[in-house]
Structure 1
Amino acid sequence: MLARATGFRAFLGLLQRDIWNTLRHELGGFLAQSLMQPLAFLFVFGLVLPEIGAVDEGYATQLLPGIIALTLVLTALQNVALPLVIEFSYTKEIEDRLLAPISPLMVGVEKLVFATGRSLIAALLILPLGAVILPDGLQTGGANWGVFALLLVVGGLAGASIGLVLGTSVPAKRINMVFALALTPLIFTGATFYPWQLLDSLRWFQVLTLVNPLTYVSEGMRAALTSSPHLGAEWIALGLGVSTVAFATVGLRGFVRRAVD
């Protein structure tokens, strides 16, 4: 019992240290990294294109949930993968963390929890940005905020789990190349800019998007915030649940292996 209590306090200590370090030294960089790309997408796709008639006026309503999902997943992914590569390869800070009286597995779990928390903040900030930028503001009269909150947590955890896999499996010298090759397909096959059901005429691409965990987060956000067409709730739950568990399992195993080595 004493060992468990000590481990829990150590876990909270690591989490508190990461939060405090963000507030003192990284807040501006975190916000810029997390919000610059979504801000550009909202402005161009949500304001400029409807204004010049390139898309329907209602497109922004379908776009906003996708941008929230994109911000959620990418923020979590980046806030695990990049620090891990640096800590394992350059600063060796991970060795300091492993001296804490908790198992290497729980050190990895702390990484997931912290990145998920950061992604929640970034995703929530998209709501006021959307209210200011989009022509019709926020159209969330029939929103299911309970489902929205659940998706924030699970979607953030999914992104963090993908980041853990990348951060523990990719050598430092190749991380830039892997990010360039992985992030673009992740962004554009994740139903971010289009509802999944509208891809019926491109069946092969519609099927391809189901491989991407971001698709289930985007479609879940549409289901929670709008009345737009979306993937069935049972498929969203299944796809997001399976992908999160799979990536978390692989990522944590990889983390423990790297930590022990």
Structure 2
Amino acid sequence: MTTTIVAGRSHEVNVPSAAKVFIAVLWRDIYVTSRQLPSFFARVALQPLLLLFIFGRVLTSLGYASADYASLLFPGILGLTLAMSAVQSIAVPLTMDFGWTKELEDRLLAPMPVWLLGLEKLVFAAVNALIAAVLTVPAGLLILWSIPWRTDGIPLLIAVLVLGSLASAAIGLTLGVIVPPARIGMLLTVIFTPLLFTGASQYPWPSLSGMRWFQILTAANPITYISEGLRAALVPKVPHIPSWICLAALAGSTVLLGGIGLWGFGRRAFD
């Protein structure tokens, strides 16, 4: 609360706290997205669900893949949808905001630190990812007719989804502040495509032991630990990376990439 003096009279002006402003901005973004939920889900989940249909339904029906492959594939597609939703929800809009739309300039006038505005972008992308993941479950059930599910795995499932959404949002934030607006096409093709196919969504990571170089490459992708963590929660009989390693890797990725992204966000905002 601050006090201003005008013509000999004092007036108390209520200045909202940074936390209240953060929640208000976050809620506004969520509300706007909720009004466009069908188009949002189609934009972020169409490609993963098509992969699930082709690999999990078509190929298994034709006999080119075993019926068990669909159970192995679903956790990976769930993780892929989560990750790509978070990355796309922040990377492309942020690149455009810093480029030609300048929409971010209005947000920078809000009474909260610049880094907190960057954190709001990250949390908003994570919320979007969680919504997309929740919607993927009934969509997967519709496509495959049955999906793997374990009540005992729910705590691990929730932990992987939350940490995975934050880690993926941190990836998107970092990309959004690093990639120049003129290179937005590169962001969509050169970066997103490798993330899509090196995240162990279509295969268990331990099965790559015969291709050591590719196994090392996929280990550098945080999405791998989302896919493997979800397999540990839903289909633990399938060989997978230990769940504690997945959680530690996702937490570390969130801190490291989130820190880099927030630092870059502050620099771009002041520029």
TM-score, normalization by structure 2: 0.91
Segments of structure 1 that go 5 or more residues without pairing to the other structure are none
**Stretch moving more, 250-259 or 177-186:** 177-186
Deviation at 1:142, TM superposition (A): 5.2
Q: Which residue of the partner structure matches residue 105 of structure 2?
A: 95
Segments of structure 2 that go 5 or more residues without pairing to the other structure are 3-13
Q: Which residue of the partner structure matches residue 29 of structure 1?
A: 39
Q: Which residue of the partner structure matches residue 8 of structure 1?
A: 19
Tell me the amino acid that sits aligned with residue 225 of structure 1: L
Cα separation, 2, equivalents of 1:31 and 1:235: 30
Q: Which residue of the partner structure matches residue 245 of structure 2?
A: 235
Q: Which residue of the partner structure matches residue 79 of structure 1?
A: 89
Contact 1:145-1:224 within 8 A present in 2 as well: yes
Q: Which residue of the partner structure matches residue 49 of structure 1?
A: 59
Tell me the amino acid that sits aligned with residue 215 of structure 1: T
Q: Which residue of the partner structure matches residue 252 of structure 1?
A: 262
Q: Which residue of the partner structure matches residue 132 of structure 1?
A: 142
Deviation at 1:106, TM superposition (A): 0.3
Q: Which residue of the partner structure matches residue 31 of structure 2?
A: 20
**Stretch moving more, 140-149 or 46-55:** 140-149
Contact 1:38-1:71 within 8 A present in 2 as well: yes
Contact 2:163-2:247 within 8 A present in 1 as well: no
Poorly superposed stretches of 4+, deviation over 4 Å: 1-5
Deviation at 1:5, TM superposition (A): 5.7
Contact 1:35-1:122 within 8 A present in 2 as well: yes
Q: Which residue of the partner structure matches residue 8 of structure 2?
A: none
Q: Which residue of the partner structure matches residue 220 of structure 1?
A: 229
How many matched pairs? 259
Cα separation, 2, equivalents of 1:130 and 1:52: 19
Contact 1:116-1:156 within 8 A present in 2 as well: yes
Cα separation, 1, equivalents of 2:185 and 2:71: 34
Tell me the amino acid that sits aligned with residue 117 of structure 2: V
Tell me the amino acid that sits aligned with residue 199 of structure 2: G
Contact 1:216-1:240 within 8 A present in 2 as well: yes
**2:201 aligned with 1:186, yes or no?**
no
Deviation at 1:153, TM superposition (A): 1.1
- Deviation per CA, 1:41-80: give whole Å up to 9, x if none: 1110110010111111100000000001000011000100
Q: Which of 123, 126, 129 in structure 2 is aligned with 1:116? A: 126
Contact 2:225-2:250 within 8 A present in 1 as well: yes
Contact 2:48-2:81 within 8 A present in 1 as well: yes
Deviation at 1:151, TM superposition (A): 1.2
Q: Which residue of the partner structure matches residue 157 of structure 2?
A: 148
Cα separation, 1, equivalents of 2:37 and 2:187: 26
Cα separation, 1, equivalents of 2:252 and 2:158: 19
**Stretch moving more, 189-198 or 232-241:** 232-241
Cα separation, 1, equivalents of 2:243 and 2:147: 23
Identity %: 46
Cα separation, 2, equivalents of 1:19 and 1:142: 29
Structure with greater Cα Rg: 2
- Deviation per CA, 1:205-252: give whole Å up to 9, x if none: 111111000000100000011121100223212322222211101100
TM-score, normalization by structure 1: 0.94
Mark the CA change 1:155 to 1:253 in structure 2 (over 3 Å): closer, same or farther: same
Q: Which residue of the partner structure matches residue 107 of structure 1?
A: 117
